[in-house]
Amino acid sequence: CASAAEFISVLSFWGPLKADPKSYGEVVLQRLFETKPDSQKLFTKFADLPKEQLQNNPDLQAHGGIVLCKLTEFLQGGGRDKKTLKDLAESHAKQHKIPRVYFQIISDVIFEVVVEKIEGFGTDAQTALKNVLKTFQTQMGEFYDELGFDD
Ligand code: MNH
């Protein structure tokens, strides 16, 4: 599990993502769909869109913003705010039916995008980010277990 210092380290570089969640979120979702085309099928509203229609798509930007804002909320909670992730696990398991492996995939994508786009994200902060994303996944997995969602 990530330490409090690791959450702080990641937050110290998170300013640009917090200030512009839509743009970064858009890139994350585009990269997710590109890396793992299956993931696009899990979104009713994006499933049938060809690649060109994922460019400058206000819906995709809006959803990217929602995802990034929630991630920022998780970071600011230092991993201690269980309610945020519990609600997220509940909607993703029961409503959206997202198998947990996709949280691994999106974590890898987030890591890649952040390191690529954010200036000065050095090796210590990178390790911290990896651990923080791992904590996110582990806690989501625990709630998935509680809900009895096996995928
Ligand atoms: Mn996701 C909706 C956050 C990863 C598929 N997601 C939402 C919502 C938030 C959110 C917030 C809107 C509120 C809710 O339904 O709970 N999602 C996240 C975060 C991550 C995430 C913070 C990881 C980081 N989500 C994923 C992954 C997938 C996915 C991975 C699938 C591959 N999410 C969805 C779908 C919806 C959703 C599908 C519903 C979208 C819609 O139709 O509006």
What's the ipTM?
0.99
* Distance from Cα 66 to the centre of ligand 1, integer Å: 8
Collect the ranges in the chain with pLDDT lower than 70.
none
pLDDT for position 92:
98
pLDDT for position 1:
87
pLDDT for position 139:
96
**Among protein residues, the one whose CA lies closest to atom 14 of ligand 1:** 91
* Distance from Cα 105 to the centre of ligand 1, integer Å: 13
pLDDT for position 8:
97
pLDDT for position 150:
84
Give the predicted TM-score (pTM) of the model: 0.97
pLDDT for position 32:
98
Q: Which residue has the tokens 């899990």?
A: 42
Q: Is 128 exposed, middle or buried (0-12, 13-18, 19+ CB in 10 A)?
A: buried
DSSP summary character for residue 121: -
**Among protein residues, the one whose CA lies closest to atom 4 of ligand 1:** 103
DSSP string, 27-60: HHHHHHHHH-HHHHHT-TTTTT--GGGGTT-HHH
